A and B are shown apart, each in its own frame.
Chain A
Amino acid sequence: MGPSYGQADKRSRNVWLLDVLKNSNLEPNENLTFSEPSRSGLCVVCKGSKLLCGKTRCPILVKVNYFLKSVPLLQTEDIDGSSPPSVFIGRIGYPNVYAGPLVPPIREDTALYDLPERWFGKSIDDIVAFRSMLVRGKHRVHVQNFQEAGKIIEKTRELALATNSVDVELILKKKPRGHLLLDDEVQPFGPSAPIRELYVGNARWDHHIEKAYTDTDLKATPAVHELYTKGVLVTKIQRAFSVGAFGIEKNRKFVPTRWSITAVDSILSKDLMEKVKTYPEINEYKVYESRYLGNLFEVIMIPSMWSYEAIEAWYPGTVWNPSGRNVVMFGDSEGYEGRTTYAEIGGCYYAARLAVCELLMKERRQATVIVLREAHPGYIMPVGVWQVRENVRNAMRQKPYLFNTLDEVLKFIGSKFQIPLQKWIMRSELLKNALFQKKITDFFAKPPLNA
């Protein structure tokens, strides 16, 4: 949400969306501003009634519905409520970014609003409902010079380290205004406005996080490991990470929320991977499964040394493939030695890697792991990387299907996915390896049979 959008809403009110709303039973509201029209042009024709995009529900109407419900509660410059706690650090303008708290106009225990670890199983509607109540206060800060940025940023940091909901009074420079972005990749959240003043009530800090925060000689990476080992939730570590709470004092800086999520997933899974690599290999093929929010995950574990791959397939009509005619597949993999470059498919690669490493660590085994994800048209809007982490974690909690051969695994997977097996195999480096790469041991002693 950068300055470019600010200009857009002065320029025009999106006519086609008002038109869509007229066709639904929702009342348009002047406080809604729409900055980006549909790219496909389908929405203009469809108006939310024909589902031309192929999704099972109109994502615009889902968002607008909750938006309209929350707008009357947010018609004020003075938001007085309990922050879950939650903060958001933008990435636009980096290193000069907008940082600040997310506060709902509700005074109760709102911890759930920013704790994806407890969201698994909730519907898209539930999640959009409470997320859209969160008003985002914005304050410009340079990621490195946050110490000199004044009280608002200081209070934002304090809030980020709190263990429970904290009473917050968020006084804004103007009434919060919302943007309904159709191609947004952040989990839904409510309207935003610049902060005039910020009052944060007494916050009790998580004592593990506080210890890492006050230790200005402890590097960020070991700090993150230590907190995780002590049982601090990934979300809480990530939230503190984003406000520069860890690391050697002079190196501390604010980290945009999106980057901090991936950084923490990556740091944690890297550490687990090294431990996993010291354990014996599993001795049979396993497949773990989970379905949630229109996403089907099949996680294959092959008895072999550690290596990892994540592939996702998007149906036409799903979030990242709104107007395509063909299934789009992305994937990335790493071998035993790990990777040194950023995975092309982004944050979900690392989130799933963490979830699978957690299980291998618990079972003290290593394996070659392939995470396959099929996003169906029921996945109407992006909800954030947590969906992948929690969905795969859920798969890991299930009893696996067991097999003796890779052929049996593939047959099983083929029966679960709508996308033909051959497409998955062609896209998967590790499956191709497992199928085609011979082992030197195949050529010991007796001559090998022709494969």
Chain B
Amino acid sequence: MFTLKVADAKLLKDMITSISILVDEATFKIDPDGIKLRAMDPSRVAMIDFEWPKTMFEEYSASEPTKMCINISELLKLLKRTSKDEIVELNLDEKTAKLQLKITGKYQRSFTMPTLEATEEEVPTPKVTFNVKAKATTQGLSQAIEDAQLVSDHVKIEADPEKLVLNASGDLMGATITLQKGSDTLLDLETKEPAKATFSLSYLAEIIKAASATSDIATLEFSSDMPIKLDFQQTKEGKLTFYLAPRIETE
């Protein structure tokens, strides 16, 4: 038996939106002390690592560890019917393998949706020693990524002790975006050694856009030609982290 209750539907909706940009079917691990999800997108280029301790919820109870696999876009369709400050309750009936979603606000409605067969796959996190750690506003990052998207579909991120530089070059046009340490966008920067790595802009843009709804501050960690880790600070003890593999041009 597993139930939870969220006082503000927006919290749940934003979090599920963040998951939806990478995965369509998600297998959540449900423990007495919280729910977790670690999954890769179908092309295995990006990964989400998500944790919600039970303290995030008004009510939370899971009698024993279990797994729950659901179609994220279907769930999102239901959550889009909620408005701010409405109360959402989730109930998993393991006998019928159905998830019940109860929304209480101006009026009450209750939906049921099927759960799917859970995957047994255990996804590890990538093993990377990060040489750069940058703390930035999600709003500023979003803007910088949008700038770069005007000219290319991938971006090279370079760090030295003083600044982060985003370089995008398309067939014809180019862009250089500089984020100075201590500026309004780049709040902090620790560079153990200078590093540069290239990433897909469509992934970066989607991740940052969706995650900014849940968070104002992001911590980026990377090393040369290694995956980038984007950690979005959550209001309570929740965790929302993405990993994105680099592009490495060999010629």
Contacts and interface: CB of A to CB of B under 8 A. Distances in A.
Interface of A: 304-305, 307, 335-336, 429, 435-447, 450-451
A321 B35 CA distance: 59
B47 to A, nearest CB: 5
Nearest to A307: B43
Interface of B: 40, 42-47, 124, 126-128, 153, 200, 202, 225-227, 243-250
B245 A439 contact: yes
A440 B127 contact: no
B247 A440 contact: no
Nearest to A422: B251
Which A-B residue pairs are the 6 nearest by beta carbons? A443-B126, A438-B245, A305-B42, A439-B44, A436-B247, A440-B245
Contact of A445 (B44, B127, B225, B245): B127
Contact of A436 (B43, B244, B249): B249
B204 to A, nearest CB: 13
A437 B42 contact: no
27 contacts: A304-B43, A305-B42, A305-B43, A436-B247, A437-B247, A438-B45, A438-B227, A439-B43, A439-B44, A439-B45, A440-B44, A440-B46, A440-B243, A440-B244, A440-B245, A441-B44, A442-B245, A443-B127, A443-B128, A443-B226, A443-B245, A445-B124, A446-B127, A447-B127, A450-B225, A451-B248, A451-B250
Nearest to B250: A451
A395 to B, nearest CB: 25
B43 to A, nearest CB: 5
A101 B82 CA distance: 54
A447 B224 CA distance: 13
Given A438-B246, A443-B227, A447-B127, 7 more contacts: A307-B43, A435-B250, A440-B47, A440-B126, A440-B244, A444-B127, A445-B127
Chain B CB within 10 Å — which of A435, A443, A446 has the most? A443
A336 B43 CA distance: 8
A436 B249 CA distance: 5
A336 B244 CA distance: 17
B248 A438 contact: yes
A437 B200 contact: yes
A445 B122 CA distance: 13
A250 to B, nearest CB: 28
A447 B127 CA distance: 7
Contacts of A445: 124, 127
A437 B45 contact: yes
A444 B200 CA distance: 20
Contact of A440 (B40, B248, B249, B250): B40
Nearest to A450: B225
Contact of B42 (A336, A436, A438): A336
A435 B248 CA distance: 8
A443 B245 CA distance: 8
A443 B248 CA distance: 13
Chain A CB within 10 Å — which of B43, B227, B250 has the most? B43
B243 to A, nearest CB: 6
Nearest to A441: B44
B249 to A, nearest CB: 5
A132 to B, nearest CB: 42
A429 B153 CA distance: 10
A441 B122 CA distance: 12
A440 B47 CA distance: 7
Chain A CB within 10 Å — which of B42, B46, B128, B250 has the most? B42
B195 to A, nearest CB: 14
A451 B226 CA distance: 11
B40 A441 contact: yes
Contacts of B200: 437
B45 to A, nearest CB: 6
Contacts of B153: 429
Nearest to A426: B171
Nearest to B198: A436
Chain B CB within 10 Å — which of A438, A444, A445 has the most? A438
A427 to B, nearest CB: 10
Contacts of B46: 440
A438 B44 CA distance: 9
Contacts of B40: 440-441
A409 to B, nearest CB: 16
Nearest to A277: B42
Contacts of A335: 202
